[in-house]
């Protein structure tokens, strides 16, 4: 007997399926093949670290979705998806990393059996390789394919109340992580020792919320290395005279609340204090602009003004939607908070407002995970001072 | 001034480049575009959690490789690759997750500038999407493309002495993780509390070796859930009367030594003890067969005999090569230890000998990371009793 522990009630999955089906209708596709692990989990509940082999979810206009993957992972699917066991299909292990056969040949047989004619595929997803598509095309010569990249992702944008509850849990974990590292970082402490405690705090979680693994590992470059946004860590010690940014996220049942703060050990130079002041002013202006009815670009423009006044020109977008995610990204890959994105903001959209400063030889990150409210400025998921912390 | 902290000396990178160039010659390609983060790191040293955007390494017959990626990550590349700054190229941020333009359009310009005519691409890699290939093809109508999936991976198979040293460090961390969890797991202890300590042990590392993040998170399903190989964890407690397998890996500078042990709380049933005995016998037979000059299938066949005698039929391969890796997989995706793989084993090939038993309603994992020696049976990286542990 399998006891399932689904993260959401069936009404929530019904809502999601209906949203995606409406998008499929607009696109004129009869079958959607979903490879993004976040989309698979959002539609079916599937949860497992098996995305290193080909797998996916098949959704058509009628009937429940089908989870399809490696046979051994079908056992995991039967334990984590809301559908009946009949809607879980596994392929034999000799398809795995073979040079003679490809799992997509097996999938093609299922799609044929289902009468799929016009198939949407997530062309620009990590887990839909060029080879996977080539094999699908050659195995289904009569099918028509359309690019359905981000079709599901766009439907994930506005969060339901149960989803927001999970993100609030994640935010409590994010706060705990930041509190802990601000206390522990000292000159001479090896970086990996601090990361060890970050992970411990993240996975222990908080009262009532066990910690899941975040879709991105902690990022925490120091000094001139903070010019690079995506460096991880090593065993060298923190040093006096350096700023370090900490980019982390608590995670609860795959939902994230990314949160970044910076810490300076010693006396920060004036240029960094001016940058901090401009960045905080920009964040506050951005939060004011992050209102239902405004556009994504309004946030980016509000942020840019005080930064530019301080002589800081950022080339990068300043945020992205967040929620349910699997590695390698905790963003939803739809809206970008940048001056060219005119997407209208809606209540319960959630973003990582992420105006990282990565300059020639220094860096600074002070960010907020936010929710667009019914009216008024954005609500921040975390509640910690919006500043560069300093330990003299 | 950037102080680089490269994991290997230049002779090691020269060796690697020469190996790959010989493979390029055989395939008749003048340009290789490498998207697998592990291959990028192996060739250039590049290290950063930036593989959620399009990036890669360009290698031609002459000259140093070129790292190409998002402009903000070029800052990370300049800090982590052995090549000169001139060989690091960054694309503008408006290419990121845009619906109007694609980074591969920018890459195409560089490949044209380099005179690339016959380009090898890793068709079946997570980080080479169907869309990426489609854009490359349409942007370079005169180029010829060949599938170079795993071309670099195959060259990674035989490890150098410095690589083995890193794997031995990883193995010390793996042992520490297993020692810690065997001590801490008790009935009633929430699973995430144990995982928190696993991470802490993993990242603190051991004397002389700080801990890096492994390419797969800890896997530790219990009881009937252990039928599924890739479930992660939640906040429910360990229970008496259940076996749990623990699949973990220490990681040192991206090198892995995966290691699995199982633990039964209470008195194990006879069927599990019989399975354990057969599995251990199979492991020992496999280690004996894992000799230079033998083939991958010889290991699989040696393992299968005692298991089949005990009535256990595994459908899955029983291992894969290991070494340097990034998420989502710590395998090298070349050889598979299975009855159809006749690859001849060479000294200093390294594998995760991984005969996991995932049956209808139970599971058991006892595994070894191994090195093929010059003569004699395989050497195990870790040194812990090869058994199912029991806490009465």
Written as six digits, the tokens of B145 are: 């493309």
Given a cut of 90, whether residue B2 has pLDDT beyond it is no
**Which chain A residues are closer than 8 Å to B127 by Cβ?**
126
Any idea what DSSP says for residue A122?
-
pLDDT digits 0-9 by tens, A154-191: 999 999 999 999 999 999 999 999 999 999 999 999 99
A97 touches chain B (CB under 8 A): yes
Report the C-alpha gap between A369 and B32 in whole angstroms.
40
- The pLDDT assigned to B103 comes to 98
pLDDT digits 0-9 by tens, A246-274: 999 999 999 999 999 999 999 999 999 99
Chain A residue with minimal CA distance to B37?
A328
Any idea what DSSP says for residue A333?
S
pLDDT digits 0-9 by tens, A308-319: 999 999 988 999
Given a cut of 80, whether residue A101 has pLDDT beyond it is yes
Written as six digits, the tokens of B356 are: 């996991």
pLDDT digits 0-9 by tens, B31-55: 999 999 999 999 999 999 999 999 9
Band (pLDDT 50/70/90 cuts) for residue B150 is very high
- The pLDDT assigned to B246 comes to 98
- The pLDDT assigned to A3 comes to 83
CB contact under 8 A, B235 and A127: no
Secondary structure element (H or E) that encloses residue A44, with its range: helix A37-44
Band (pLDDT 50/70/90 cuts) for residue B3 is confident
Report the C-alpha gap between B40 and B42 in whole angstroms.
6
Average pLDDT of chain B, as a whole number: 97
> How far off is chain B from A376, nearest CA to CA, in Å?
29
Secondary structure element (H or E) that encloses residue B257, with its range: strand B255-265
Any idea what DSSP says for residue A178?
H
pLDDT digits 0-9 by tens, A346-359: 999 999 999 999 99
Given a cut of 80, whether residue B130 has pLDDT beyond it is yes
Number of other residues whose CB lies within 10 A of the CB of residue A380: 19
Chain A residue with minimal CA distance to B235?
A210
Chain A residue with minimal CA distance to B340?
A94
- The pLDDT assigned to A2 comes to 82
Written as six digits, the tokens of A24 are: 């499929």
**For range A97-103, the mean pLDDT:** 93
CB contact under 8 A, A320 and B97: yes
- The pLDDT assigned to A380 comes to 98
> How far off is chain B from A137, nearest CA to CA, in Å?
11
- The pLDDT assigned to A99 comes to 87
Choose the closest CB to B130 out of A133, A204, A224: A133
- The pLDDT assigned to B132 comes to 98
Which domains are assigned to chain A? 10-155 (3.40.350.10), 161-391 (3.90.230.10)
Radius of gyration over alpha carbons of chain B, in Å? 22
Report the C-alpha gap between B77 and B94 in whole angstroms.
19
CB contact under 8 A, B232 and A204: no
Q: From residue A330, give the alpha-carbon distance in Å to each of A8, B49, B193.
A: 20, 12, 23
pLDDT digits 0-9 by tens, A190-199: 999 999 999 9
Q: From residue B45, give the alpha-carbon distance in Å to each of A90, B5, B40, B77.
A: 37, 10, 7, 9
Going by C-beta distance under 8 Å and a sequence separation of 6 or more, which residues neighbour residue A388?
Answer: A243, A261, A262, A263, A264, A268, A272, A273, A276, A364, A366
Chain B residue with minimal CA distance to A199?
B199
pLDDT digits 0-9 by tens, A226-250: 999 999 999 999 999 999 999 999 9
Mutate to test the interface with A, among B322, B328, B337, B356 (most CBs of A within 10 A): B328
> Quick check: B189 and B233 in contact, CB under 8 A?
no
- The pLDDT assigned to B71 comes to 96
Given a cut of 90, whether residue A82 has pLDDT beyond it is yes
Q: From residue A160, give the alpha-carbon distance in Å to each of A7, A145, A157.
A: 13, 31, 10
- The pLDDT assigned to B137 comes to 98
**Which chain A residues are closer than 8 Å to B333 by Cβ?**
97
> How far off is chain B from A153, nearest CA to CA, in Å?
12
CB contact under 8 A, A204 and B217: no
Going by C-beta distance under 8 Å and a sequence separation of 6 or more, which residues neighbour residue A66?
Answer: A57, A58, A83, A87, A88, A89, A110, A114
> How far off is chain A from B224, nearest CA to CA, in Å?
8
**For range A300-308, the mean pLDDT:** 97
DSSP notation for A127-153? TSBHHHHHHHHHH-TT-EEEE-TTHHH
B304 touches chain A (CB under 8 A): no
Which of B249, B288, B209, B254 shows the shortest CA–CA distance to B381? B249
Q: What percent of chain B has pLDDT over 70?
A: 100
Band (pLDDT 50/70/90 cuts) for residue B140 is very high
A98 touches chain B (CB under 8 A): yes
DSSP notation for B145-171? EEE-TTHHHHHTSBPPHHHHHHHHHHH
Alpha helices in B121-269 (DSSP H): 130-139, 151-155, 161-184, 191-204
Q: Is the whole model's pTM more than 0.80, yes or no?
A: yes
Q: Is A40 exposed, middle or buried (0-12, 13-18, 19+ CB in 10 A)?
A: buried
pLDDT digits 0-9 by tens, B79-125: 999 999 999 999 999 999 998 999 999 999 999 999 999 999 999 99
Chain A residue with minimal CA distance to B97?
A333
Any idea what DSSP says for residue A247?
E
Band (pLDDT 50/70/90 cuts) for residue B346 is very high
Which of A221, A319, A296 shows the shortest CA–CA distance to B93? A319
- The pLDDT assigned to B315 comes to 80
**For range B183-208, the mean pLDDT:** 98
CB contact under 8 A, B327 and A329: no
CB contact under 8 A, A193 and B213: no
**For range A371-384, the mean pLDDT:** 98
CB contact under 8 A, B94 and A338: yes
> How far off is chain A from B377, nearest CA to CA, in Å?
26
Written as six digits, the tokens of B95 are: 């290419």
Q: What percent of chain A has pLDDT over 70?
A: 100
- The pLDDT assigned to A315 comes to 80
**For range A349-378, the mean pLDDT:** 97
Choose the closest CB to A210 out of B73, B212, B234: B234
């Amino acid at each position: 007997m399998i006891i399932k522990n689904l993260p959401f009630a069936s009404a929530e999955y019904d809502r999601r399926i209906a949203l995606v089906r409406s998008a499929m209708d607009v696109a004129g596709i009869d079958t959607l093949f979903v490879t993004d692990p976040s989309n698979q989990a959002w539609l079916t509940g599937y949860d497992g670290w098996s995305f290193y082999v080909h797998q996916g979810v098949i959704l058509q206009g009628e009937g429940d979705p089908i989870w399809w993957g490696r046979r051994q992972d079908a056992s995991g699917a039967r334990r984590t998806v809301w559908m009946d066991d009949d809607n879980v299909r596994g392929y034999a292990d000799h398809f795995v990393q073979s040079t003679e056969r490809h799992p997509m040949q097996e999938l093609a047989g299922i799609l044929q059996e289902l009468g799929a004619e016009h198939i949407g595929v997530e062309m620009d997803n990590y887990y839909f390789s060029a080879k996977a598509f080539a094999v699908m095309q050659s195995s289904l010569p009569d099918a028509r394919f359309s690019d359905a990249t981000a079709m599901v992702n766009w439907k994930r944008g506005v969060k339901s109340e149960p989803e927001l509850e999970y993100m609030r849990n994640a935010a409590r974990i994010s706060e705990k992580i930041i509190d802990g590292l601000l206390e522990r970082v000292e000159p001479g402490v090896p970086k990996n020792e601090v990361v060890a405690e970050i992970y411990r705090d993240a996975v222990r979680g908080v009262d009532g919320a066990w910690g899941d693994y975040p879709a991105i590992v902690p990022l925490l470059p120091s000094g001139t290395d903070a010019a690079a946004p995506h460096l991880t860590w090593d065993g060298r010690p923190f040093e006096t005279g350096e700023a370090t940014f900490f980019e982390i996220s608590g995670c609860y049942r795959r939902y994230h609340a990314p949160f970044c703060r910076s810490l300076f050990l010693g006396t920060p130079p004036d240029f960094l204090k001016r940058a901090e002041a401009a960045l905080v002013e920009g964040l506050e202006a951005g939060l004011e602009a992050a209102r239902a009815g405004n556009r994504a670009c309004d946030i980016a423009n509000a942020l840019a003004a005080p930064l530019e006044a301080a002589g800081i020109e950022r080339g990068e977008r300043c945020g992205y939607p967040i929620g349910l995610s699997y590695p390698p990204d905790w963003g939803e890959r739809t809206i970008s908070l940048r001056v060219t994105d005119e997407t209208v903001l809606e209540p319960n959209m959630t973003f990582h407002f992420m105006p990282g400063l990565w300059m020639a030889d220094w860096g600074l990150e002070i960010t907020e995970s936010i929710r667009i409210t019914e009216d008024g400025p954005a609500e921040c998921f975390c509640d910690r001072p919006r500043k560069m912390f300093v330990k003299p």
